[in-house]
Amino acid sequence: MAVGTLLAAWVARRHGGELLRDSDVGTTALVIRSDMDGSGCPLHRRQGHGFLGAAQRACVAAVLQICWELRWPARQRMAAENDLHKCNNVYLVPSSHLLKLASKLELTRMQKPSVDEQPLLGPVERSEHVAALEEAKRLLRLAGPLAAGGILRSALQLVSVMFVGHLGELPLAGASLATSLANVTGFSLLVGMSSALDTLCGQAFGARQYHLLGLYKQRAMVVLALACVLIALVWSNTTRILLLLGQDPAIAAEAGSYARWLLPALVPYVPLVCHIRFLQTQSIVVPVMVSSAVTALNHILICWALVHKLGMGSKGAALASTVSYSTNLAILCLYTRLSSACKRTWTGFSMEAFKELRQFAELAVPSAMMVCLEWWSFELLVLLSGLLPNPKLETSVLSICLNTGALMFTVPSGLCAAISTRVSNELGAGRPQVARLATRVVICMAMFAGSVISITMILLRKSWGYMYSNEEEVVTYIARMIPVLGVSFFIDGIHTSLSGVLYGCGEQKIGARVNLAAFYLAGIPLAVLLAFILHLNGMGLWLGIVCGSLTKLVLLVWIVHSINWENEGTSRCALVIAHLNPFIPKPFGPGIQFFVDVDLQRPYKTDSSLEYLLTPVRGPPPTRSMDKGKVIVDTSKAHQIV
């Protein structure tokens, strides 16, 4: 390292530059003016394969000498040399000490970690089965609490409907219909849009850009609040919508009343789902589960008090959701404010949250479509079952199958959230090989869980129906449906986990297209064909959805198998170990903003011990413009740091 440092010091003195060194971590930064080399000649002008003048060649030699001393492989050393021949101005040259602190200092490693770096960078070079076992433990620690929390939160609406059921058939029918409409037109959209935080917050946390998590969360709340305006318009006109769909006027009126009293629940629900994603991407899942459990238990008391004690009836059951969501939100806000785990990620409210809303929406809308397209396809089954012969039997059996599926879906949904967190964190940290390992492990876990669920369902097929009905006709029908359900649950578990990989990579647009093709070009048409043309009735409807799920699985396997993980990792990072450019613009899509607002008049400070990383450089900032969705950065008149 001494030779490179001496050369760098000589070049710095020769050309009016400055040699900065951090004594704590041994970082050396060689700073040279960007426009002149000290003698009035442009530093970056090339002739043949070299720079003009001996001084410029000495500068490149100094930088390459330090890079070589960092033990770069030959191929990467050649690539670094080519890159350095293309850049100029300011060279940031880390020392060998910085190599071991690469993750802490948020620098992307372009080579595999050595054995002594494995505790820092993860199980990359260790034996495959040991690394896979440790990854499985991480996924289980995430998936378990996430699945439990999801069950507890979904139970709130179920408990409300159960209390309304004791008031009579008409209130029950109205509340059930209003709840279904609210899930389809409201809650599913908000859950889907909030899943954009899986990508943004997850990758920012992996890249140690902790302040961005709070900013993304606030931005998500703003976008979701705007979406609630449209949702409120739909819920306010529930009665009219149901009448247009041919529903009974009395039931439509009851459902409209329930939906209007459910409207205030949107106010706490929006920040609640954003807080859940905010904590989930930091692997803080136990507090989310505990808060959901406390809320679920409290919801029973609230429903009893509002429905029976205060005599509000179905209106009280709807209003209870608002109180319970507010309770859950208050618990999570209190945890975020007081817990030391969130001190770096939540720094308070900022006006930056109102900027770049369009860019956030461009990721949130595909995320919502990815969730809703699959959700709506199953809701459509119930509507189609009402058109079959003996609609009472078919609708009852399909509803039981959907309830069973919702119960079994909690396991793959937990795995989906877990793998989304793991992939986004590792890609943000510049460790794509660990993200790839996590993907392989979660596929095996999904296959195992799906097999256990399917076999258990098949073994209990003759008695499962008695949990929902005492009529032999219904029980027998369900017993015939169980094998198809078992296959469906196995397939759903795998493709749901693969969907989590797309969330982590920020490829929600691809996921939305896959769901559109799988369920609406294959699944639903086949369901109609089998049920109404081939007269398989309810069995045909579910077989069609199974075909759609299988189509989705095949497409996702092909897509995930085609992922270039090294490119995914580097595309999410803006720092390179031998040189960096702080004028990387804010991404107009998924990715990490390493340099959010670069002010060239003051040093850039990191969260690590390396505080003086870049030196101030005088000159105007580069201009940015958009061209066909891509960011164009003009640095022709700006001082550039490379």
What are the pLDDT digits (tens) for 252-278?
898 899 999 999 999 999 999 999 999
**Best-predicted range by mean pLDDT (337-351, 442-456, 554-568):** 442-456
For residue range 24-75, what is the model confidence (pLDDT) as tens digits?
A: 333 334 433 333 333 333 333 333 333 323 443 444 444 434 433 333 344 4
CB of 419 within 8 A of CB of 193?
A: no
Q: Mean pLDDT throughout 212-228?
A: 93
CA distance 137 to 418: 11
Residue 120 belongs to some domain of the structure: no
Name the token pair of 2.
């001494």
- Predicted local confidence at residue 270, as pLDDT: 95
Q: In this structure, what is the dihedral angle of CA atoms 205, 210, 214, 215, given to the nearest 10 degrees? A: -100
**426, 505: one domain:** yes
Name the token pair of 342.
């969130």
User: 65 or 546: which carries more pLDDT confidence?
Assistant: 546
CA distance 583 to 595: 7
CA distance 549 to 522: 9
**343, 436: one domain:** no
Q: Band the pLDDT of 582: cuts 50, 70, 90.
A: very low
Q: Mean pLDDT throughout 122-129?
A: 55
Instruction: Kindly report the pTM of this predicted structure.
Output: 0.69
**557, 579: one domain:** no
What is the percent of the chain with per-residue pLDDT over 90, rounded to a whole number? 33
Helix locations, 431-507, DSSP H: 432-459, 461-464, 472-505
Distances in Å between the alpha carbon of 317 and those of 269, 272, 624? 16, 20, 52
Domain end call among 539, 572, 605: 572
- Dihedral sign for Cα 421, 424, 426, 428, please: negative
Residue 119 belongs to some domain of the structure: no
If you write DSSP's letter for every residue of 233-273 in order, what string do you get?
HHHHTHHHHHHHTT--HHHHHHHHHHHHHHGGGHHHHHHHH
- Predicted local confidence at residue 104, as pLDDT: 35
**437, 557: one domain:** yes
For residue range 317-336, what is the model confidence (pLDDT) as tens digits?
A: 999 999 999 999 999 999 99
pLDDT of residue 548 exceeding 90 = yes
- Predicted local confidence at residue 157, as pLDDT: 83
- Predicted local confidence at residue 625, as pLDDT: 55
Residue 124 belongs to some domain of the structure: no
- Dihedral sign for Cα 37, 40, 43, 46, please: negative
**378, 279: one domain:** no
Total domains present in the chain: 3
**405, 350: one domain:** no
User: 561 or 635: which carries more pLDDT confidence?
Assistant: 561
Q: Which domain holds residue 170?
A: 131-355
Name beta bridge partners: 580: 575
Angle between the N-to-C axes of helices 391-408 and 472-505, in degrees from 0 to 180, rounded to the nearest 10: 40
Helix locations, 195-237, DSSP H: 196-206, 211-236
- Predicted local confidence at residue 292, as pLDDT: 93
- Predicted local confidence at residue 632, as pLDDT: 54
**384, 295: one domain:** no
**91, 159: one domain:** no
Residue 121 belongs to some domain of the structure: no
Maximum Cα–Cα distance across the chain: 96
Residue 113 belongs to some domain of the structure: no
Coil/strand/helix, residue 71 = coil
Residue 116 belongs to some domain of the structure: no
**498, 560: one domain:** yes
- Predicted local confidence at residue 14, as pLDDT: 52
Q: Mean pLDDT throughout 375-401?
A: 81
**102, 185: one domain:** no
- Predicted local confidence at residue 438, as pLDDT: 92
Strands 50-51 and 27-31: unpaired
- Predicted local confidence at residue 23, as pLDDT: 37
For residue range 75-90, what is the model confidence (pLDDT) as tens digits?
A: 443 444 344 333 333 3
Residue 189 belongs to some domain of the structure: yes
- Dihedral sign for Cα 316, 318, 321, 323, please: negative
Q: Which of 134-148, 360-374, 584-598 has the lowest mean pLDDT?
A: 584-598
Q: Mean pLDDT throughout 197-221?
A: 88
Residue 630 belongs to some domain of the structure: yes
Among 578, 613, 83, 15, which Cα is nearest to 7's? 15
- Predicted local confidence at residue 75, as pLDDT: 41
Give the residue carrying structure tokens 């256990």.
452
Distances in Å between the alpha carbon of 73 and those of 103, 266, 388? 19, 55, 67
**DSSP code at position 585:** P
Q: Band the pLDDT of 108: cuts 50, 70, 90.
A: very low
Distances in Å between the alpha carbon of 360 and those of 222, 588, 589? 10, 8, 7
Residues 6+ apart with CB under 8 A from 623: 633, 634, 638
For residue range 188-202, what is the model confidence (pLDDT) as tens digits?
A: 899 999 999 998 898
- Predicted local confidence at residue 272, as pLDDT: 95
**524, 633: one domain:** no
CA distance 388 to 541: 10
CA distance 506 to 420: 10
Name the token pair of 360.
């956030």
Q: What share of the chain is helix, strand, coil (3-state, %, to 5)?
A: 70, 5, 25
User: 525 or 167: which carries more pLDDT confidence?
Assistant: 525
Domain end call among 554, 572, 590: 572
3-state SS of 128-160 is: HHHHHHHHHHHHHHHHHHHHHHHHHHHHHHHHH
| Average pLDDT, rounded, for the chain | 73
**386, 535: one domain:** yes
- Predicted local confidence at residue 478, as pLDDT: 87
Domain end call among 572, 588, 623: 572
Rg, Å, the chain Cα set: 29
Among 271, 276, 277, 247, which Cα is nearest to 259's? 247
